[in-house]
Amino acid sequence: MEIIAFVNNKGGVGKTTCSKLMAEYLSKSKGLRTLCIDFDPQCNFSHQYLHMEIDPAAPEGLMPPIHPDFDPTDPDDAEWDGRSSIAEIFYGQGVVPYPTYVSNLDIAPGHAEKLLTAESVRRSEVVDKVHKQLASFLNSPDVAAAYDAVVIDTAPSKGPLTISVIKAATHIIIPSVMEEQPVQGIYGMLQLWMQESLTREKSRPLQLIGILPNMFKQTRLHKDILKSLQDNPAIGKYVLPVKFSQRIVFAEIDAADSAPRSIFDYQEQHVAKTEALEVCSHIAERIFA
């Protein structure tokens, strides 16, 4: 089971869009049993596949809907409130992934309040209570047996939630807009990659697939910055040879009533679909070859 995480502590660089495209490519095109994990308290990734609800008691944000398998009359579910998010791992509860409208694709959604609470634990406790939790959940035999691939969307931060993802991941991809501030976010992520790489055993390294230029526009700014990254002997190796262009269709498809609902359901020659296939297949080959 490969665990792929999209990380960048700068917000708005397209982590969620990339996560969604990658998850759908793996499940639809490659037929891999794929689990999405939403580790961002904003829960945008979850909202793509589930009707996330506003918790009236918690002003912080979204929470998952009642699980379709929840049966209040079943004694087995007596202890369960019917909702399940990935944040349950911080509270010693089981995680029940939700099926999505894409076959082979499940999601363990976020839970704004619970994720935020997990992120705010005391510094002295964070290592035991947060950092290791996602890794131990994903390494459990049940999860490893149920899925071939895991795609994790992360919060735009370098905090405990992101560290938890870095510790669990087998591969990371850093999407970035080719502008100064998002590139600074790349630095933040490389720092986490470094810390983790120095701690990990050599037999299971954390592989940096690379920097994925996203929302790319054929402007001098984007082209120059991409070139300066590519031309650097150390960084150049890690700049992916594929990129996502700035396309309104990637945003349009996120709308709840869009049709079709996946970019991979567009007709064959659609320029956005072609691009998505090119990027995702390149990444998938690097990971699953």
Q: Which of 136, 140, 184, 258 binds another protein (CB under 8 A)?
A: 184
CA-closest candidate to residue 36, choices 80, 103, 97, 101 = 97
Size of the site for another protein (CB under 8 A): 30
Candidates 57, 198, 255, 259: give the one binding another protein (CB under 8 A): 198
Query: Considering the complex, what minimum distance in angstroms separates the CB of residue 252 from another protein?
Result: 29
Closer residue to another protein (CB): 135 or 190 = 190
> Residue 211 Cβ, how far from another protein at the closest point, in Å?
9
Does 258 help bind another protein (rule: CB under 8 A)?
Answer: no
Using rule CB under 8 A, residue 63 touches another protein: no
- Applying CB under 8 A, the span of 11-19, 119-127, 136-144, 190-198 interacting with another protein comes to 190-198
Measured distance CA(289)–CA(286) in Å, rounded: 6
d(CA 203, CA 211): 23
CB nearer another protein, residue 110 or residue 210: 210
Residue 166 CB, nearest distance to another protein (Å)? Answer: 13
Kindly indicate which of the ranges 17-25, 130-138, 139-147, 227-235 contains the residues binding another protein, using the contact rule CB under 8 A.
227-235
Q: Does 136 bind another protein (CB under 8 A)?
A: no
Q: Cβ of residue 160: shortest distance to another protein, in angstroms?
A: 19
Using DSSP's 3-state secondary structure scheme, residue 149 falls into strand
Q: Considering beta carbons, is residue 118 or 173 the nearer one to another protein?
A: 173
Alpha-carbon gap, residue 193 to 207, rounded angstroms: 9
Indicate whether 217 belongs to the interface with another protein (CB under 8 A).
Answer: no
Q: Is the dihedral of CA 156, 159, 200, 89 positive or negative?
A: negative
Task: Please state the φ and ψ torsions of residue 5, each to the nearest 5 degrees.
Answer: -125, 140
Identify which of residues 193 and 250 has a Cβ nearer to another protein in the complex: 193
Does position 233 interact with another protein (CB under 8 A)? The reply is yes
Q: Give min distance, CB of 210 to another protein, in A.
A: 11
β-pair partners for 149: 2, 34
Closest contact distance (angstroms) between CB of 13 and another protein is 15
| Residue found by looking up tokens 């639809």 in the block | 28
Asked if residue 101 binds another protein (CB under 8 A), the reply is: no
| 135 belongs to the binding site for another protein (CB under 8 A) | no
Contact 170, 207 (CB under 8 A): yes
Least CB distance to another protein at residue 15 (A):
19
- The correct pick among 234, 248, 255, 256 for binding another protein (CB under 8 A) is 234
The string of DSSP letters for 128-189 reads IIIITHHHHHHTSHHHHHH-SEEEEEE-SSSSHHHHHHHHH-SEEEEEE-SSHHHHHHHHHH
Give dist(CA 282, CA 262) in Å, integer.
Answer: 19
Which residues are CB-contacts of 25 (< 8 A; sequence separation ≥ 6)? Answer: 264, 276, 277, 280, 281, 284
How far apart, in Å, are the Cα atoms of 212 and each of 45, 52, 173, 225, 245?
A: 19, 29, 7, 13, 11
DSSP code, position 265 = G
Site residues, another protein (CB under 8 A): 180, 183-184, 186-187, 190-191, 193-194, 197-203, 205, 208, 220-221, 224-225, 228-229, 232-235, 237-238
